[in-house]
């Protein structure tokens, strides 16, 4: 048996002939990029189609992002009807908009007919209303109605992300009828894991998993093997909430229903993974005060996105500066205070950012709510006091030996404990307050948390130093 196993030839690669476009660092190989660039420059359509024909949509998206703007426009133009428009769902918004803006609506309309509805909506939703209507008018009636219905739902809702192609059957059908229907109907989606059961008004009754269909005899009725869809998602539900449903209940797909409980689409795990990544990126960017910035954005767009929060930060910095200005005489008496103030501000700001990051993420994932908020606040206060004690001991000893003044070491140690406690409270209470007021805590928490730690830190340090100098 072992000899026979050794004689079996190795299996062919899964994607035989697929170009190896990535290097060891995960980026597109420079040689492949140069090869595609040369084909574009020579307008060598045959070579270009050969180089990109077997690329997955995500790989083609990476290629588009790696090319220069004029090259990617030329690539789409040269490929014509062979260009895979689903790759536009894998690129930055700015790149997608640039490509679509340079294409005639007729070509876009033709491409929409070959895409899954969720991908088509993803591309159409960023177009002007006039262009949307012109493109939709050129589509077959059924497909036009489906896309319009999805576009009518709010942005970043389950209705926008759902796929309107699904498999639905009445409860009185048999398993055999259902199997024959799936084999013969050419309009069914290419991939699905569930069959939905509906009444004549399209109201959702239940669902049957494909594995259940395969294990059941043909004569059995669908209503006898279906199960209730306990996790049907309202079309108006925020996409982040829908993604949380998938995460909590380990779903592969879920029915999407309208306000009348009628089946209007299906949300699949591949779309949910994109949503999770998108929401995580948005939270991270907002915490840095850079909004929805993309790597492909122009200098002007990036500057316009960042300046407002820098101006807010400037205003809060003046508040901190005003606190320092009240202790000018104290600083003049002991120049060492000026050297130690940045340490107080820096450590307090970092401690506050640590707490704030954990809090904002917990709010986003719904792990932090009214029921456990008090317990988490107490925990962060204790952590702040413990960390403050450790840092205060170290900085107190260093400052005391550095300036040969143990009293100064005691002053900065006491100020550090106060500031670390303020950082812990600010880092958790500010996001909680913003969330309570209906604001996004990811957007502005960092600025206000930093302001709190700077103001409290400077006020505590300089007040204690002034008190100590007056005693002397």
Task: Provide the CATH number for the domain around residue 190.
Answer: 3.10.580.10
In a domain, 323, yes or no: yes
In a domain, 278, yes or no: no
Range of the domain at 325: 299-471
Q: Are residues 448 and 416 in the same domain?
A: yes
Cβ atoms within 10 Å of 394's Cβ, excluding its own: 12
Q: Can you tell me the distance from the alpha carbon of 432 to that of 258, in angstroms, rounded to the nearest whole number?
A: 32
Q: Are residues 366 and 339 in the same domain?
A: yes
Cβ atoms within 10 Å of 228's Cβ, excluding its own: 11
What pTM, to 2 d.p., does this model score?
0.67
Q: Are residues 216 and 106 in the same domain?
A: no
Whole-number pLDDT of residue 287:
65
- The answer to whether 146 touches 121, Cβ cutoff 8 Å, is no
pLDDT values of the chain reduced to their tens digit, one per residue, 472 residues = 344 434 434 443 444 445 678 988 888 999 999 999 999 999 999 999 988 988 999 999 999 999 999 999 999 999 988 999 999 998 988 899 999 999 999 999 999 998 989 999 999 998 999 999 999 999 999 899 999 999 999 998 999 999 999 999 999 999 999 999 999 988 888 888 899 999 999 999 999 999 999 999 999 999 999 998 878 999 999 998 999 899 888 888 999 999 999 999 999 998 898 888 887 777 766 666 666 666 666 777 777 777 777 788 788 888 888 888 888 888 877 888 888 888 888 888 889 888 988 888 788 777 887 778 888 889 988 999 999 999 999 999 999 999 888 988 999 999 999 999 999 999 999 989 888 888 778 777 888 888 888 899 889 999 998 888 887 5
Q: Give the end of a domain, one of 121, 156, 191.
A: 156
Q: Can you tell me the distance from the alpha carbon of 398 to that of 413, in angstroms, rounded to the nearest whole number?
A: 10
Name the residue with tokens 């969720």.
Answer: 118
Q: Are residues 373 and 462 in the same domain?
A: yes
Whole-number pLDDT of residue 293:
62
Q: Are residues 148 and 174 in the same domain?
A: no
Q: Which tokens is 418 given? A: 């106060």
Q: Give the end of a domain, one of 250, 268, 286.
A: 268
Cβ atoms within 10 Å of 134's Cβ, excluding its own: 16
In a domain, 256, yes or no: yes
Give CA angle at 283 (422, 444), nearest 5°.
45
CATH number of the domain within which 339 lies: 1.10.357.20
CA nearest to 207, candidates 192, 191, 185, 222 = 222
Q: Can you tell me the distance from the alpha carbon of 203 to that of 150, in angstroms, rounded to the nearest whole number?
A: 18
Whole-number pLDDT of residue 1:
39
In a domain, 280, yes or no: no
Name the residue with tokens 């002939």.
Answer: 17
Q: Are residues 207 and 247 in the same domain?
A: yes
In a domain, 340, yes or no: yes
Kindly give, in sequence order, each residue whose CB lies less than 8 Å from that of residue 189, ignoring residues fewer than 6 positions away.
116, 163, 165, 166, 167
In a domain, 23, yes or no: no
In a domain, 70, yes or no: yes
Q: Give the end of a domain, one of 95, 126, 156.
A: 156
Note the residue count of the chain: 472
- The answer to whether 229 touches 204, Cβ cutoff 8 Å, is yes
In a domain, 279, yes or no: no
Question: For the chain, first and last CA: distance in Å?
Answer: 93
Q: Are residues 349 and 311 in the same domain?
A: yes
β partners of residue 204: 198
Q: Are residues 233 and 181 in the same domain?
A: yes
Q: Are residues 263 and 314 in the same domain?
A: no
Q: Are residues 103 and 61 in the same domain?
A: yes
Domains: count for the chain:
3
Q: Are residues 328 and 377 in the same domain?
A: yes
Q: Are residues 173 and 128 in the same domain?
A: no
């Amino acid at each position: 048996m072992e000899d026979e196993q050794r004689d079996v030839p190795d299996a062919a690669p899964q994607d035989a002939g697929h170009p190896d476009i990535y290097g060891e660092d995960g980026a597109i190989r420079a040689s492949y990029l140069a090869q595609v660039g040369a084909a574009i420059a020579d307008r060598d359509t045959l070579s270009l189609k050969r180089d990109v024909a077997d690329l997955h949509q995500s790989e083609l998206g990476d290629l588009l992002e790696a090319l220069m703007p004029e090259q990617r426009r030329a690539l789409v133009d040269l490929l014509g009807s062979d260009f895979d428009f689903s790759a536009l769902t894998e690129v930055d918004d700015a790149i997608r908009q640039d490509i679509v803006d340079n294409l005639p609506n007729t070509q876009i309309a033709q491409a929409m007919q070959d895409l899954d509805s969720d991908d088509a909506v993803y591309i159409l939703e960023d177009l002007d209303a006039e262009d949307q209507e012109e493109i939709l008018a050129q589509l077959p009636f059924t497909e036009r109605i489906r896309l319009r219905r999805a576009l009518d739902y709010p942005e970043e809702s389950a209705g926008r992300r759902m796929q309107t192609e699904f498999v639905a059957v009445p409860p009185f059908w048999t398993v055999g009828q259902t199997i024959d229907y799936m084999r013969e109907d050419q309009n069914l989606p290419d991939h699905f894991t569930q069959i939905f059961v509906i009444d004549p008004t399209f109201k959702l009754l239940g669902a049957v998993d494909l594995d259940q269909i395969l294990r059941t005899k043909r004569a059995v009725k669908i209503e006898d093997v279906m199960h209730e869809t306990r996790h049907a998602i309202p079309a108006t539900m925020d996409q982040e909430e829908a993604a949380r449903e998938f995460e909590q209940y380990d779903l592969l797909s879920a029915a999407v229903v309208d306000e009348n409980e009628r089946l209007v689409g299906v949300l699949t795990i591949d779309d949910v993974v994109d949503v999770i990544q998108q929401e995580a990126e948005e939270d991270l960017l907002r915490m840095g005060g850079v909004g929805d910035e993309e790597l492909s954005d122009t200098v002007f767009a990036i500057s316009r996105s960042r300046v407002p929060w820098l101006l807010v930060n400037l205003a809060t910095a003046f508040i901190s500066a005003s606190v320092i200005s009240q202790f000018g005489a104290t600083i003049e008496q002991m120049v060492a205070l000026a050297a130690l103030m940045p340490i107080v501000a820096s450590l307090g700001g970092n401690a506050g950012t640590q707490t704030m990051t954990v809090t904002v993420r917990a709010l986003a994932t719904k792990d932090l709510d009214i029921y456990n908020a008090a317990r988490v606040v107490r925990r962060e206060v204790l952590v702040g006091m413990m960390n403050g004690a450790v840092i205060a001991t170290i900085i107190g000893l260093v400052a005391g030996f550095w300036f040969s003044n143990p009293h100064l070491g005691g002053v900065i140690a006491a100020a550090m404990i106060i500031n670390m406690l303020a950082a812990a409270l600010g880092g958790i209470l500010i996001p909680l307050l913003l969330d309570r007021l209906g604001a996004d805590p990811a957007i502005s928490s960092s600025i206000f948390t930093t302001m709190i730690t700077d103001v409290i830190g400077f006020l505590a340090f300089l007040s204690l130093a002034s008190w100590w100098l007056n005693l002397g």
